[in-house]
Structure 1
């Protein structure tokens, strides 16, 4: 495609300019932040009810995302449609709620109509807007004012840089409140029980096999006796956990270990104590560790099974790689991960 002068339109270069325009807007706004941001954060932190996020048009769309981020990080929130609000939906606002209004101009007619009623219904009214002198900026108890910015839209009509800025400010508020509340990964996991993310955030006890699904035997039994005795129902795991006289995990014997005995023509060992051929002191994990940590171990050590033991070293479960297929370890530093008891596997 070329313009009237015959110059070829470089789509990739243009896309980069759009992104850089919006990135520049974020950098400019970051430098403009003042005490207004802190006051808005304080109002939201002190909220005893929920945060009602209200916007019009594209601001309303941004508001939905902000609400999602708030809810997942410990700040209870909901969206309120400005048009529906003046026709009865204001009834959803509780006296303990804080209203957070979003408007680039601060003069959106639909929002301005709500200012009076909201001041009577909500405990506080705060805003995100570009203009401190706007009707919204003056009416709010506190406001995040980001000032004039250049829209990425070539017509300077479609909200672009302004919505990006508003979205980022919502994230900044949400994560500031998260830090103030000392919101933890465990709390975050409570709000994300489904899907791949939920599984990674889950603890081992939620995913491990347990009870009748486990194969447990005494280390003093022979290999033949172990396989004759150990019977189970449900999902089959390819590892048998061997315990000492006190019931503590002493070793692991897998189907691969059994196959190796036959391959090496060591049939005589079938009638010897399984302790002679088991893997001593296997790598284990606790039931309260995160599944992401277990995935790291299984991947790094190329294991198929990972025994789960309690504080006394007694087996309480088994993690099987087939139950975790499709999950990748969570990114993050080791300092954020639970402690894992790891012992090198050694052959007898």
Structure 2
């Protein structure tokens, strides 16, 4: 007969870790790699500046390559460069030796990652770069290696200890290469004057694309605007407000400039038997909050959340209404 545990006794069981060895090991790895990153920051010299000058000067693309774990890091660096305004792609060294060298041109620059600098699979790319005068940037642990000596500029890693206890698995070395790639991409971004708007153009999709939307991207344009004049009777203003379905009505003066707004809240505050006999001017809230079409949509969302309102009129510098941005449109676009 099988014994059954009482449900209450099962729920009261506690899992007590027998050892903190794994936690201590994790902290050792992270501390070691963090210290190595600090060493890398202090190790950078004029070679980094020369690299930025080369990458900023070329007319082509940055070709990044490496084998094994260095290859994975090279692939990520190429993606980061491309997304921050420096056209780049990864090429596999073995495929390069079997025809993919045809993807390279004299207008490009080649960046090779190799901890030892002696990786056999990289020799064909190194030879191709030297034969056709393509700038070669080496990222390696040894300036005296084959890669280091062949490079036009060599970015050496500071002395490091792999986090692997056997000193075999690339760990600290790949972390240093990854961070160095980020440093290059950001420095190039600054050098090129790559703006948030440029970034938006390269990231139109997903959450990031939504965050980089402008008000002009999400606003309802002039053809949809609910507008009435100051002297419009509320009997007519209510019809206009209801037909547009935005829950608000912009009030314009004789010069067609926005001077007020009527919202559902204004209607409730003036609710009386005489409401329909009043004019829009008597019911409106004067000098409503507005925003420019060049502003970030995130800014519009912040204003609406902070002021507990659901829409903002978009105006030109002379207060001419250009559009309307709604909280619902921002949320629908993925802003939050």
TM-score (norm 1): 0.87
Is 2:295 aligned against 1:289?
yes
CA drift of 1:109 comes to: 0.9
Match of 1:327 among 306, 326, 335: 335
CA deviation digits over 1:144-193, x for unaligned, max 9? 11132111122221111111100110111111111211221121111111
Query: Relative to structure 1, is the Cα distance of residues 216 and 105 closer, same or farther in structure 2, using a 3 angstrom cutoff?
Result: same
Contact 2:304–2:310 (Cα < 8 Å) also in 1: yes
Q: How far apart, in 2, do the equivalents of 1:315 and 1:22 lie?
A: 55
CA deviation digits over 1:63-99, x for unaligned, max 9? 1211121112111111111110000011110110001
Alignment partner of 1:300: what SS?
helix
5+ residue gaps in structure 2? Answer: 1-17
Match of 1:14 among 13, 17, 25: 25
CA deviation digits over 1:93-120, x for unaligned, max 9? 0110001111111111111232112223
Name 1:34's counterpart in structure 2: 45
TM-score (norm 2): 0.90
Contact 1:94–1:122 (Cα < 8 Å) also in 2: no
Q: How far apart, in 1, do the equivalents of 2:324 and 2:77 lie?
A: 40
Alignment partner of 2:128: what SS?
helix
Name 2:82's counterpart in structure 1: 71
Q: How far apart, in 1, do the equivalents of 2:164 and 2:151 lie?
A: 29
Match of 1:238 among 230, 247, 258: 247
Name 2:237's counterpart in structure 1: 226
Contact 1:306–1:318 (Cα < 8 Å) also in 2: yes
Name 1:247's counterpart in structure 2: 256
Alignment partner of 2:110: what SS?
strand
Name 1:342's counterpart in structure 2: none
Runs of 4+ in 1 over 3 A off after TM superposition: 229-233, 259-262
Q: How far apart, in 2, do the equivalents of 1:323 and 1:228 lie?
A: 23
Query: Relative to structure 1, is the Cα distance of residues 122 and 295 closer, same or farther in structure 2, using a 3 angstrom cutoff?
Result: farther
Query: Relative to structure 1, is the Cα distance of residues 284 and 148 closer, same or farther in structure 2, using a 3 angstrom cutoff?
Result: same
Match of 2:196 among 160, 185, 202: 185
Name 1:213's counterpart in structure 2: 224
Q: How far apart, in 2, do the equivalents of 1:123 and 1:279 lie?
A: 66
Alignment partner of 1:253: what SS?
strand
Q: How far apart, in 2, do the equivalents of 1:270 and 1:115 lie?
A: 83
Name 2:13's counterpart in structure 1: none
Query: Relative to structure 1, is the Cα distance of residues 122 and 88 closer, same or farther in structure 2, using a 3 angstrom cutoff?
Result: farther
Q: How far apart, in 2, do the equivalents of 1:17 and 1:223 lie?
A: 72
CA deviation digits over 1:288-336, x for unaligned, max 9? 11112212212222221111001221111111101112524xxxxxxxx
Name 1:272's counterpart in structure 2: 278
Q: How far apart, in 1, do the equivalents of 2:64 and 2:133 lie?
A: 12
